[in-house]
Structure 1
Amino acid sequence: MAEAQYETRTRTVEETVVVLTMTEDEADALRQHIEKVPVSGVVYRVYEALGKPTPPVQPVPTADTFEYDGVTYELGAKYTDKDNDPWYFVKFGDDVVGGGSAEIRDVDDGRTLDYVMSYRPLTKVTS
């Protein structure tokens, strides 16, 4: 018996793009030059892009991080200390960050941030 079913597949497409960097004066000069010539298609899209450049995208900080002594750490992520022992960070209440061993994720196991940081350097486990 024949059967049919929809599937969703993800495809990765690699695309080569050209990034042209120019000063505002250079962009204005190019736009003014294009205005003098009848254009269409791709050149017209370049002309439009020159007329409304977008501001640089600012990275959005994640809400699940905190900073300690100039280093950003991720809440809930697993870290290892200088002895390769596991640690994690959690937030208690609105602004109190604590940590504990990665094997025991219990509020009773929570230690002060200064205590956890005494085992630095802490390296985030990524695999």
Structure 2
Amino acid sequence: MKFPLVRNGRHPLFLENLFIVTEDQKFHDHAGVDLSGISRALLINSQNKTMEQGGSTITQQLARNVYLSHDRTYNRKLSELIYAYQIERKKSKPEIMELYLNAIYFSNGAYGIEAASQYYLK
């Protein structure tokens, strides 16, 4: 599939900040993994006997969207952690955010902020 990409910071800063606030408030402070978020998710999931809480950082979500399935398993989560760490070693935070904004799924077949804006604002 081909989707339009937004490159080189051509997205509004408020949009980047919106995703940081809602998805990963420690985005600029971690190396791809937020151990407190994962611990919180593990605790809630074990208490509720579910796999609903993910505790994923933006980098982990990018890893899942690009490289992995969306299965809710501990093996997939472990792979997500490894990929996130590798992404953080190879890419800068602005590059990670750009990749994330181009890979995130917004429903109705819209991957990335450009495709989502074309679909929802037509």
TM-score bracket, shorter-length normalisation: under 0.3
TM-score normalised by length of structure 2:
0.24
Q: Which has the higher helix share?
A: 2
- Greater Rg over alpha carbons, structure: 1
TM-score, with length taken from structure 1: 0.23
Q: Which has the higher strand share?
A: 1
